Amino acid sequence: MARALINLPKTAKAGAVIEIKTLISHPMETGYRPGPDGRLIPRNIITDFVCTYDGEEVFRAELSPASAANPYLTFTTVATKTGTLRFTWTGDNGFSQTEEMGITVV
C-alpha cells in the first residue's frame, strides 16, 4: 500500500465548490532512466486517477511518465449532498489503490 494523502473539507455548504488535493507516494519510474547496471529501468507509473462522488465520476486524470514522482493533483467539485468520495489510482504492474473520504453537507 502506497501512502496517500487526501485533503478536503469535512463539512461544506450545499452547492459550494470545494477544492480537493491528493498526493500518493509512487516513484513514477519513466522507463527512460538507466539503472546502476546501465540498462534502462522498466517503466512503472500510475496511469489513471479517478474521483467519484457517491458513485458518480467527478474527475479523472490520465498520467504519463512526464508526471512528477508522487503524483499530486488538485481539482474542485460541487458539494451536493452528504456522501462518500472515492479516490482510485491504477497503474503499471497491477498497481491499484482506493481511498475513501466522507463529506458532510449542511
- Which residues in this chain contact another protein in the complex, by CB under 8 A? 17-19, 30, 32-33, 53, 56-69, 71-78, 80
Nearer to another protein, 37 or 62 (CB): 62
Cβ nearer to another protein, comparing 76 with 84: 76
Minimum Å gap between C-beta 16 and another protein is 8
- Residue 1 CB, shortest distance to another protein, in Å, is 22
Residue 18: CA atoms inside 13 Å, Cβ hemisphere, count?
A: 22
How far apart are CB 11 and another protein at their closest, in Å?
A: 17
Of the pair 30, 97, the CB lying nearest another protein is at 30
Strand-pair partners of 91: 46
Min dist. Cβ of residue 44 to another protein (A): 14
Place of cell 498526493: 23
Q: Hey, how many other C-beta atoms are within 10 angstroms of the C-beta on 34?
A: 9
CB 59 within 8 A of CB 91: no
With respect to another protein, which residue has the nearer C-beta, 31 or 102?
A: 31
Burial of 74 (0-12, 13-18, 19+ CB in 10 A): exposed
